[in-house]
Structure formats: structure tokens, C-alpha cells
Structure 1
Amino acid sequence: MQATCFAALLAVSVATSPCWSADAVGLRTTPSSLPSEAVSKAITGRVAIIDGRTLWFPGSAEKVLLAGIDVCELPQWAFDPTRYGKNTALKPVPCGPLAKAWLKRVVSDDQVTCRVTAFDSDGTYVGSCSMSGRDLAVEMLRVGWARVASPPLPGYATWQRQAMEARFGMWATYVLDMDEWRGKAVDRTLERRPIADFNLLAERGREISPPFADAHKRPRRADH
């Protein structure tokens, strides 16, 4: 069911192959999860999806980041360890667009309510958002297109663990941790080529999964 949905979104198949173990990724702090000022308000309305964790309320011209999670940036690539593209290269997976597509699919045209609790360091609202009683951050964690950020919200780590064990979404791929990607990626345009992220994986500062270490014994380049 999950694989069918993913393929329907962007026609990219992510195999359920050996991937990150549940211990491979800690709960790391991201810029959006560091509130610089507390606030308390509710925002309700239809939204546009900016990326896999960012909502835009056009009616009130307000932007909200989903609290407690992080996702791939839109130009970021992951790699399927069981599929190969041209020249036997690891198959690129557009993890940022897939995360955005999943959130857009979940929200559709329904009303969303965000309970804002903070601003982030850039002045953007941060809060928990729901639609028809469904926590949108949980929906992203459940299908593996988000990871838990620190401080973790109640129950979020459990949803992440289940997605990791099932190898859903990005947990079926090699992907650089988002914090490290933001710190190292020079080109952040949507034209970014997969090879750039493959090279960052090769030079990674954090270990993401034992299978990727194994892959280094048989180096293969990513599709350009």
C-alpha cells in the first residue's frame, strides 16, 4: 500500500531494502525546532504546501513549520541501495519533493488548524497542525518522509521507529542527515544534481547506516 502511494506521487519506487537501523539516527535539533520566542495562537484555513514540513495560509498570509519533525530539503537527493540507474549507478530518490508530495496528498483541500507555540530563529511560526483530527507531523513520520527533531513531542519517536522498522520512505534509502546537508550543500537550487549529494554522502560526518559503509567497498557513482 505504501509503495503504491509513493509510486503514484512521483513515479519513484523506493524499495524496502536494508537501510538505517533504529539506532542509527538520534533525535537531533534543527533550526526550525529552536524557538526564539514563545507565542500562543490558533490559525485555521486552507493551506498551500511549501515543503514537507511547511504550510502557508494564504488567507492570513502566515507560514507555519510543523513542530517536532524535520524533512529533506526540496533540492536534496537520497539513493535507493537496491536499484540502479544508468551505468550501474545507485538510483536517485528525490526525497524532498516526495515529502512535499505526501504532505500535499494528506492535506488536499481540507481545512487545517495549527496551534502555534513559538517562533523559530527566522521569525516563522512553529506549531502542531492537524486536519480532521489527524496530526500532520505524525502523518509524515508514519510513512517515513520525516524524522523526529529535538525536543521530541510525545509519541513521535514511536511513529518514527515503526517507519524505520518497516523501511518506509527515506528509511529505505541512503540519505544525508538534513542538518549536515544544510551545513554542507553549496548549491541549494532545484536544479541540484544527484551526484552532488552522493559526494556529500561519501564525505559524511555522521554514519547514516551500516549498509552504506558496505557500499563503499564496491563504489558506484550516482546518476548525474
Structure 2
Amino acid sequence: MWFRRSRLPPDLRDALRAAERAARPPLHRRVAARLRAVGRMPLLAWIVLAGLLGFAGWKAGLVGDGASVAGPSTPRPVARITVRASAVDGDTLAAGADRLRINGIDAPEMAQSCERAGAAYPCGRLARDAMASILGRGMVDCEILGADQYGRRIARCRNEAGQDIAAELVRQGWAIAFRRFSLDYVGQEDEARRARRGIWDGRFEEPDAYRARIRSGAAH
């Protein structure tokens, strides 16, 4: 007969609970029974469980303190070209009518000045001159990665000596790693900073911040 336990007298409820506890197997037997059930799981179930646990750990690493979050990755090349190019500025090449924006770096703008030993100097023009020197005779082998909002082709290029021209410019201190788009040249930037090469031998405004400031001033 069905009844509500809460309606029973207190002493009867206590006796009923005691009887139920006495009828249950001891804790160690219940644990052993569950372990035996786990041991009978088929291999496929174990594989699925391991996969779920692995994914949970990976996801926790991503969203934990942020240290495991990967940076922006360089896109896959969509084409490859070999052309004669010249330096427009520290991070852009001209190849005939085409403009190639070098991927992963940002160099001072042509009109930009930096400071060294308390005096201003034309770091934008010096960055362009450094790029021209790295280009040598100007023959470059480039992987085209896409295009930017200005219609320039985004490229990763090597000179005739096989040097990654972006890596060399950053290593010399005339460009910085453009972390918003790529982490490929962070090591070269760290090296240039430690050695105080190029713009690191003094004070400078990051090119992206410089452009934003100029645009903001023009808007007013």
C-alpha cells in the first residue's frame, strides 16, 4: 500500500530508515560492484570515454589562464610568383603595377620619425632603405597569401640569397612583428630589441598607432 513516509510517526520513520540501512550492502561491496561494472565496459566505450576526457582537458587548457591559446596563424599560400620588386616602404614592395604587402611585419611609415639620443630621425625612410638593401637586385620569390583591404597582395617573400626578407628586416630592427596577424617574427624582434638595433636604439611609436593617430588628426 502506497503511503507518504512524512505522515508516519517519528519513531516508526526512524525504524524504517534503520531497516533500509541494514538491508543495503556495505560501502566496500557497493564500490566493488561498480568497479566490476566499469571493468565490463566494452573497448569502444573506453575509447569514447578517453576521447571525451582528453577533449575536456584540452578545452580547459584553452580557456584557463589564456597561456595555451594559439596566436594568429599564417594562411596557406594561394599562389607563388617570382618577380623583380622594389621597396615602396619598409613593408611594401612594388612589382610592376602590383603592390605586395609583406605578411607578419609592420615598419615605420615613410613620413614617420623616431627618436634616438634625444633627437628625431627619419626612421620611415631608413626602414625603406633597409628593405631595398635586403632586396639586393630585386628578384624575389613570393608566396601569395591573400589580399588586403587596399587591394595589395599579402605576400611572404625571399630574396635571391634565400633570405626571408621580413625576418631579416625585423632582425635588423627596422620593423616589428605584426602580432595581430602573425607571430612568425617574434623571435627576430626579441633579438633586435636585446641588441638595440634600428628603431630599438631609442624611442618610437608603433606604426599601427602612428597611422591611427594620423587618421584621427585628419578626421578633425
TM-score by length of 2: 0.60
Q: How does 1:154-193 map to 2 (within 5 A)?
A: 154=184, 156-185=185-214
Q: Which has the higher contact order (CA 8 A, sep 6+)?
A: 1
Q: Do the aligned partners of 2:86 and 2:138 also contact (CA within 8 Å) in 1?
A: no
In the alignment, is the contact (CA less than 8 A) between 1:73 and 1:96 conserved in 2? Answer: yes
User: For the Cα contact (< 8 Å) 1:34–1:120, is it kept in 2?
Assistant: no
CA–CA distance in 1 between the matches of 2:121 and 2:202? 8
CA shift digits 1:16-43 (9 cap, x unpaired): xxxxxxxxxxxx99xxx999xx871112
Where structure 2 has 5 or more consecutive residues not aligned to the other structure, the ranges are 1-70
Alignment of 1:57-136 (within 5 A): 57-58=95-96, 61-80=97-116, 82=117, 90-131=118-159, 132-136=161-165
On the 8 A contact 2:74/2:182 being kept in 1, the answer is no
Counterpart-to-counterpart distance in 2, 1:122 and 1:135: 24
Q: Within 2, Cα distance between the matches of 1:110 and 1:73?
A: 21
1:146 is displaced (CA, Å) by 0.5
Give the letter for the 2:192 counterpart. A
How far apart, CA to CA, are the structure 2 residues paired with 1:133 and 1:100? 20
CA distance in 1, matches of 2:170, 2:146: 21
What's the counterpart of residue 84 of structure 2?
Answer: 46
Count how many residue pairs are aligned between Structure 1 and Structure 2.
145
Q: Tell me how far 1:57 sits from its aligned partner.
A: 0.9
Question: In 1, distance between residues paired with 2:216 and 2:190?
Answer: 32
The aligned residue for residue 218 of structure 1 is none
Give the unaligned 5+ runs of structure 1.
Answer: 1-27, 83-89, 189-224
CA distance in 2: counterparts of 1:144 and 1:39, whole angstroms: 26
Over the aligned positions, Cα root-mean-square deviation in angstroms equals: 2.6
Letter in 2 for 1:42: R
Q: Which has the larger helix fraction?
A: 2
Paired-residue identity, %? 29
Runs of 4+ in 1 over 4 A off after TM superposition: none
Larger Rg: 2
Q: Distance in 1 between matches of 2:196 and 2:171?
A: 11
Higher relative strand content = 1
The one-letter amino acid paired with 1:152 is S
Cα deviation, residue 46, structure 1: 1.2
